[in-house]
Amino acid sequence: HLRERDGYAPLYSDFDNFYIRRLQLRINDCFRRPVTGVPGRFITLLDRTSEDFNLSFKLTGTTTETLNMSSYNYLGFAQADGECADAAEQSIRKYGISFCSSRADIGTSDLHLDVEKLVANFVGMEAASIHSMGFVTNASVFPALVGKGCLLISDQLNHASIRFGARISGSVIDMFKHNDMMDLERVLRERISQGQPRTHRPWRKILVAVEGLYSMEGTMCNLPGLVALKKKYKFALYVDEAHSIGALGPRGRGVCDYFGISPSEIDILMGTFTKSFGANGGYICASKAIVDKIRVTNAGTIFGESPTPAVLTQIATSLKIIAGEIAPGQGEERLQRLAFNSRYLRLGLKRLGFIVYGHDDSPIIPLLLYHPAKIPAFSHEMLKRKISVVVVGYPATPLISSRVRLCVSAAHTKDDLDRLLAACDQAGDVLQLKFSSGIAGGA
Ligand code: PMP
């Protein structure tokens, strides 16, 4: 073993890393909670001893069923029964658990080809490629598209997977202030001219990357503004729809559907199946030429395992339900329930006097706690009331903008949300979280 006294730093020694410090500070009661069962309307937590919050916690052998406000189960497709689960079970009987190969070798089945067609159709693009993980989709597709001599301009609050892919692509990276179109235009002007005559463009490609719906903020990208700038400055636009596909727009088809903008205005619509579809993996939708290029150049697909049978069937079945091809009316009902629940909870929290971030139609509702010490305290207050929530702090947010991120689902009933509002009301009093006497009724 390398030893400190020999002049080597032990591998675990990064005390400057926030996450490690947090473990040392033992405030991770609210993080890494082990669960059992389906992450649906309710979620079952495994109880653990309170005297040992560390990763080596001891399980007590008992469980607690909680109202689940933590999973990205926007349309309620995370369930162990119903059309999706039945189809997935049959799929395992026919194909087994894994294809035991990458897409590039012997891991492309008829299921993959069907799902790619379905996804391209649903998103409204010419072609789609699917990948076994959302994170890896971003991490390996940016290097497949841009590299040396290219400029990648990223929203300041883009997800870690986008930042990861951007960095390993080798492009020059610049950022603009979150959702600020004036700042994006400033970056474009500065980077395109760079003191050169207007006719010279010093970049092989320019790619602007944003998210459809930002999961820490609940904000929606300014798609009309981005499309206008794209026309003016001639860059390619990449939109990560991890949280917006299936969750936004009258037909659940994401931000283009929401804003009434044709998907053909955007170069790449990326998304994940881990949220609205209750499945796993990611996709890229684009022109056939771009998708073909990605298939043969992205390392994740070439060297990684292909998406698995049950997952593919879950994606296909949930997609067909949303599109009304299976169980007519059910998809529409789920979308309407999600839209109602999102607005109902947001308005209820505002009425109680909480500060919440984001767009009125966002199913992610960040409720501000501000002080980092209130992170475990809020989580604890909720657990006392048998509600599980995700709390977020530095470095995922600025130090004094700690927050709870409530994830609304079509699976929640109005009674569930009323129960949550009552719990927040009480916890808000205990932790002094309310910053006003609430907005006037009807506002
Ligand atoms: N993009 C965004 C915007 C995300 O929020 C996430 C994960 N939450 C990912 C990509 C990665 O997707 P996955 O969890 O499906 O790997």
pLDDT at 12: 67
Return d(Cα 373, Cα 98) in angstroms, integer.
44
Taking the model in full, what pTM does it have? 0.93
Q: Please tell me whether residue 226 adopts helix, strand or coil conformation.
A: helix
The residue among 346, 339, 277 whose CA lies nearest residue 76 is: 277
Return d(Cα 284, Cα 402) in angstroms, integer.
32
The residue among 89, 109, 90 whose CA lies nearest residue 99 is: 109
Return d(Cα 119, Cα 301) in angstroms, integer.
17
How many angstroms separate the alpha carbon of residue 407 from the centre of ligand 1? 14
Return d(Cα 247, Cα 76) in angstroms, integer.
11
- Long-range contacts, stretch 412-415, CB < 8 angstroms, 24+ apart: 412/41, 412/67, 412/341, 413/41, 414/341, 414/344
Kindly state if the Cβ of 276 falls inside 6 Å of ligand 1: no
In this structure, the chain runs to a length of: 443
The residue among 206, 207, 241 whose CA lies nearest residue 223 is: 241
Secondary structure (DSSP) of 139-189: HHHHHHH--TT-EEEEETT--HHHHHHHHHHT-EEEEE-TT-HHHHHHHHH
pLDDT at 5: 67
pLDDT at 402: 93
pLDDT at 397: 86
Return d(Cα 181, Cα 178) in angstroms, integer.
9
Return d(Cα 267, Cα 204) in angstroms, integer.
16
* Residue located nearest, by CA, to atom 4 of ligand 1: 242
Q: Retrieve residue 224's tokens.
A: 């009309």
Kindly state if the Cβ of 405 falls inside 6 Å of ligand 1: no
Reported ipTM exceeds the 0.90 cut: yes
Kindly state if the Cβ of 428 falls inside 6 Å of ligand 1: no
Kindly state if the Cβ of 28 falls inside 6 Å of ligand 1: no
Average pLDDT per block of 10 residues along the chain, 443 residues long: 65 60 52 87 87 63 95 96 96 97 95 98 98 97 96 97 97 98 97 70 94 96 98 96 98 98 98 98 98 95 95 98 96 98 98 96 97 90 95 85 96 98 97 76 40
How many angstroms separate the alpha carbon of residue 323 from the centre of ligand 1? 23
pLDDT at 34: 87
Environment class of 3 (CB within 10 Å of its CB; exposed 0-12, middle 13-18, buried 19+)? exposed
Kindly state if the Cβ of 211 falls inside 6 Å of ligand 1: yes
Kindly state if the Cβ of 140 falls inside 6 Å of ligand 1: no
Domains with residue ranges and CATH for the chain: 4-68+330-430 (3.90.1150.10), 83-322 (3.40.640.10)
Q: Which atom of ligand 1 is nearest to the CA of 275?
A: 15
Q: Which atom of ligand 1 is nearest to the CA of 215?
A: 5
* Residue located nearest, by CA, to atom 15 of ligand 1: 134
Secondary structure (DSSP) of 83-119: HHHHHHHHHHHHH-S---SBTTTT---HHHHHHHHHH
The residue among 60, 36, 39, 48 whose CA lies nearest residue 278 is: 39
234: Cα separation from own chain's centroid: 28
* Residue located nearest, by CA, to atom 1 of ligand 1: 242
CB neighbourhood size of 313 (10 A): 25
* Residue located nearest, by CA, to atom 13 of ligand 1: 134
How many angstroms separate the alpha carbon of residue 353 from the centre of ligand 1? 31
Kindly state if the Cβ of 135 falls inside 6 Å of ligand 1: yes
Q: Which atom of ligand 1 is nearest to the CA of 136?
A: 16
pLDDT at 423: 98
